[in-house]
Every structure is written in C-alpha cells, then in structure tokens.
Amino acid sequence: MPKYSTSAALVFLVYLAPCFAQSPQKEESLSSSFGAGPNAFIDLLALMSGHCKTLKVDGRSFGCKTVAYAHGDKGRVNFAVAVDDPDDESHVVSFSGVNGKRADDNSYQLPIDRMLLNSKDRPKVDGLPVPAEQPSTGTCRQTGNFAARKVTDVTCSATDSEGRRYELLFVSDGKPVSVRRIRQSAPSIQDPFN
C-alpha cells in the first residue's frame, strides 16, 4: 500500500471543500438542521490506509480507494469514502454529521444527519464538484485514536430520506493514520474524559 502524500490529502480537500463551504442562500435552509456555517473550513484531515470489507450504496456493492475523516471548524464531520467505481473516477460518498461523542480513548461515535454524494455528473462551482446532499439518519463508529495515529476500523450505516441505504465497514491495514492539521480550531467532540 503506498504511503499517503500531501497530494493525496489535497485531492480529498478538493472533494470535501464544497461539503463545508456552502453558498449563503443554500446555507439559510440548512443551518438549523445541519449545523454548518457559511464560512466553514476543514481544519483536520485524517487519511486511513486499509480496505472496505463492505461498501454498499443503495444495494450495490463497491470497493474503496481510501477513507478520510474530515473535521470542519464549525463542528461538522465527514467520513468520506473514495469509491472504487470503474464507471466513475469521481465517485465519493460521505457520511456526515455533528455532535460526535467519544465513549473512551479508542471509541468515537458520530450521528449521521446527511449523506453527501459526489460523482462525475455533479455540477461544479468555481471548478469544484458540489455534492448532492441527502437528509439521512444513521451512525458511524470509529475504533481507534487519531492522536495515536491508529484506527482499527470504521463502521457506518445510514438511510436517506428517499429510503436508500448506505453501509461501510472499513478495516485498517495497521499502518499509521496520516493526520493533517490544516488550521487550529476549538474541539467539537463531546469527551467525558476531559
């Protein structure tokens, strides 16, 4: 498995940037239900090395190229999956939510309130693809710790407002997580141990 480079992190930033910075008029309708802000930016990006034992999008199974954790400075978190789709090199599925909680040092849970779906057919704004947003309910669970640069697995399950199901079981290959702090911001994880 190749080591992740700064260029890999930048590719994910390009895909994730529109997920955090939205147009002001769209933001008005989303701010109360999704908790994002019009000037939100990614402040932490973690790329995980391993493979998807399960990745299902509306009943269709896929492999994955990589999984990333992206934290926005307004508290929104995405578990973004670069889908190994032979028909679409731009296929990215993100489980997105706010108010993640840590049960202990090696366990994190994120309630999902929307799915972000990107593909080659999505419109672009300022050259960046804008994902389709689907209100959703579900949960992601991460076993491991970014501070220790070790994640064992990530499991996610969500159902969108149109009844489509999304499932992820990502298993690490044991290599250290590549963590990039992009800018400093206040933590948004509810942590009973601090």
How confident is the model over 27-60, as pLDDT tens digits? 333 322 233 444 567 888 999 999 999 999 999 9
Whether residue 188 lies inside any domain: the answer is: no
* Positive or negative torsion for Cα 30, 108, 115, 46: positive
User: Model's pTM, two decimal places?
Assistant: 0.78
The CATH number of whichever domain residue 86 belongs to comes to 2.40.160
Residue 15 in this model has a pLDDT that exceeds 70: no
CB 35 within 8 A of CB 27: no
CB 9 within 8 A of CB 46: no
**Structural domain range at position 174:** 6-181
Residue 1 in this model has a pLDDT that exceeds 70: no
Tell me the β-bridge partners of 140.
Answer: 110, 156
Whether residue 193 lies inside any domain: the answer is: no
3-class DSSP state of 76? coil
Whether residue 143 lies inside any domain: the answer is: yes
Domain count, the chain: 1
- The closest alpha carbon to 127, from 43, 52, 17, 48, belongs to 17
